[in-house]
DNA sequence: AAAGATTGAAATCTCAATCTTG
DNA sequence: CAAGATTGAGATTTCAATCTTT
């Protein structure tokens, strides 16, 4: 969670665009809007989850497990779903297992692999958090009409399409 | 930078909404779109800045300094602009000063306070990075028309307005 | 005592190396 | 030797405590 707190003013961007022809003020403004908004949301979420003794990352593991068949997954699968390394998952599962929210079990078919399963206690914690979580989330989005919510998701989809060809691209 | 890699399918959300009435599928989908998109952008930016020997956070300090009068600011001001603690700024400035990209100077008017100033070397590095940076940023947003870019910024503004009343609110 | 900056300890995430199993 | 998981070292950020100046 690291981003600027305030967006630069449009005039500032337009002034800089006169020197740097590669700068498109509307693009920069929209781009930074995504980062600033997400950072602010994440700050709030971190505070919210802390009330339940969870970090955002630990919550993520629980909710991902909840959606898996038998509420079970391997660390490798979790790492893939959450876009973190396996080493990170190992640490997160360590903490969650210590609190009894998940269980580890060695798989019989391939004993290199491990099963991570959501426990009853873990599920109960999720059931306690989720209604509140979704209600808050809904409140955040409440200034947008149903149509605007769909527009927003569509526009962000186009941004992700653009990611394929830039920032990390050749050069 | 921690978020899921893939958005849940709309059907999954709709199925869960039948059990949890507080869940609005369109709201959740748009909300997660913001987080997923931002996380993916940040991953790319981290890679991009690493080519110049910078982290995203260090780049942020440099660009914030560049926009200040005399390209100078106190750690407290930088912390406020970047939404991090002063302790974090101290660490970032330590690193940047070691590489000669910024300079520290004790202020004469209030000797508790410190001036952090962008050096010629720091400015030169920025001038080298920025054209490339804005070009990549423009490419990311290239799938959106000018109108869509403005729409996106407007919609995200409404999301931030909604943040005032939720997630971190009483409860 | 209050404000600005810094330091040290703890949490979190990644990379590289290691251990176990196939 | 491949693949899955874990461990240890390094980077980054925050909180609480400390130091200096007002």
Contacts of A84 in chain B (CB under 8 A): 2
% of chain B beyond a pLDDT of 70: 95
What integer best gives the mean pLDDT of chain B? 93
Query: Quick one: which of B10, B44, B117 has its CA closest to A162?
Result: B44
Instruction: Report the alpha-carbon distance of residue B35 to residue B26 in Å, rounded.
Output: 15
Instruction: Report the alpha-carbon distance of residue A108 to residue A103 in Å, rounded.
Output: 15
The average pLDDT across B62-68 equals 96
Q: Is pLDDT at B5 greater than 60 in this prediction?
A: yes
Strand (E) or helix (H) holding B72: strand B72-73
> Residue B155: which of A42, A148, A165 has the nearest Cβ?
A148
Q: What does the pLDDT look like over B127-158, one tens digit per residue?
A: 999 999 999 999 999 999 999 999 999 999 99
Q: What does the pLDDT look like over A21-38, one tens digit per residue?
A: 999 999 999 999 999 999
Interface touch A144/B157, C-beta < 8 Å? no
Residue B69 to chain A, least CA–CA distance (Å): 13
Would you say A57 and A94 are in contact if contact means Cβ atoms under 8 Å apart? no
Q: What does the pLDDT look like over A34-70, one tens digit per residue?
A: 999 999 999 999 999 999 999 999 999 999 999 999 9
Question: What are B46's strand-pairing partners?
Answer: none
| Rounded CA–C1' distance between A108 and D15, in angstroms | 44
Long-range residue pairs from A9-16, CB within 8 A, at least 24 positions apart, any chain: A12/B67
What integer best gives the mean pLDDT of chain A? 93
Strand (E) or helix (H) holding A118: strand A114-118
How confident is the model at residue B63, as a pLDDT? 97
Q: How confident is the model at residue B91 (pLDDT cuts 50, 70, 90)?
A: very high
Q: How confident is the model at residue B3 (pLDDT cuts 50, 70, 90)?
A: confident
| Rounded CA–C1' distance between B127 and D20, in angstroms | 37
**Order of strands across the sheet that contains B72-73:** B72-73, B114-118, B102-106
How confident is the model at residue B1, as a pLDDT? 67
DSSP character at residue A102: E
A35 touching B (Cβ < 8 Å): yes
| Rounded CA–C1' distance between A79 and C14, in angstroms | 13
Say what the alpha-carbon torsion angle B143, B149, B153, B159 is, to the nearest 10 degrees: -50
Nucleotide with smallest C1' distance to residue B104 CA: C5
Instruction: Report the alpha-carbon distance of residue B29 to residue B80 in Å, rounded.
Output: 31
In angstroms, the first-to-last Cα distance of chain A is 27
Q: Is pLDDT at B169 greater than 60 in this prediction?
A: no
Instruction: Report the alpha-carbon distance of residue A39 to residue B94 in Å, rounded.
Output: 24
> Residue B144: which of A5, A57, A158 has the nearest Cβ?
A158
φ and ψ at residue A73, rounded to 5 degrees: -155, 160
The average pLDDT across B45-57 equals 94
Interface touch B35/A38, C-beta < 8 Å? yes
Residue B102 to chain A, least CA–CA distance (Å): 19
Per-residue pLDDT of chain A (171 residues; tens, 9 = 90+): 678 888 999 999 999 999 999 999 999 999 999 999 999 999 999 999 999 999 999 999 999 999 999 999 999 999 999 999 999 999 999 999 999 999 999 998 999 999 999 999 999 999 999 999 999 999 999 999 999 999 999 999 999 999 986 544 433
């Amino acid at each position: 969670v690291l981003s600027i707190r305030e967006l630069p003013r449009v005039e500032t961007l337009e002034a800089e665009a006169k020197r740097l022809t590669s700068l498109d003020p509307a693009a920069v403004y929209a781009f930074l809007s995504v980062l600033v908004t997400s950072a602010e949301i994440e700050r709030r979420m971190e505070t919210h989850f802390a009330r339940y003794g969870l970090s955002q990352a630990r919550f993520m593991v629980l909710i991902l497990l909840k959606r898996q068949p038998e509420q079970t997954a391997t660390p490798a699968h979790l790492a893939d779903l959450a876009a973190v390394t396996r080493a990170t998952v190992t640490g997160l599962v360590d903490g969650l297992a210590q609190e009894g929210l998940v269980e580890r079990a060695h798989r019989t078919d391939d004993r290199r692999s491990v099963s991570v399963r959501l426990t009853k206690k873990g599920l109960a914690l999720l059931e306690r958090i989720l209604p509140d979580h979704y209600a808050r989330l809904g409140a955040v989005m409440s200034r947008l009409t149903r149509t605007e919510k769909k527009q927003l998701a569509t526009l962000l989809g186009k941004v992700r399409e653009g990611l394929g060809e830039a920032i990390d691209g050749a050069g």
